[in-house]
Structure 1
């Protein structure tokens, strides 16, 4: 009799877990349907934009270095002159 009760308990647990899984799958589907864009596309777009930003920043830093050399001052002075702070 104890084995039968254990089997029924296990089966009840399995049924409960399957119901929970189904509910989670419904929630995931609902959330995905509410997203404006595909998450993978969004991540790829952000990566592309970050690369573009870094390239532009590198060019700007190079130009500021050339200006500093031409004026005979440190790059920090050029940053101050053009209003560029450490977080930019």
Structure 2
């Protein structure tokens, strides 16, 4: 292969890469616009929503721990297993 053919190949590759870059930049712009549009439709700030869910999960876990502790006390006072007390109160495995 001579220099002209090598240069032609390089020019074709460069042109293809430039076209690819242009297409990717256009796609990025489209995605950024879509993201901005979706973000404006959100009721609350996403970070605030995540923080709220974390706080609510923490509250839920504390309440669940208290409930399990109470059922443990009831089980001890009755002399039965805690699982039996949970069944008595309708608490399932998914609760």
What 5-or-longer segments of structure 2 have no aligned partner?
1-6
Larger Rg: 2
TM-score, normalised relative to structure 1: 0.85
Higher RCO, Cα 8 Å, sep 6+? 1
TM-score, normalised relative to structure 2: 0.79
SS of the counterpart of 1:13?
helix
What 5-or-longer segments of structure 1 have no aligned partner?
none
Cα distance between partner residues in 2 of 1:58 and 1:39: 29
Match of 2:63 in 1: 56
Cα distance between partner residues in 1 of 2:71 and 2:79: 12
Cα distance between partner residues in 1 of 2:13 and 2:88: 78
**Deviations 1:54-85 (CA, angstroms, capped at 9, x unpaired):** 10000000011111111111111211221111
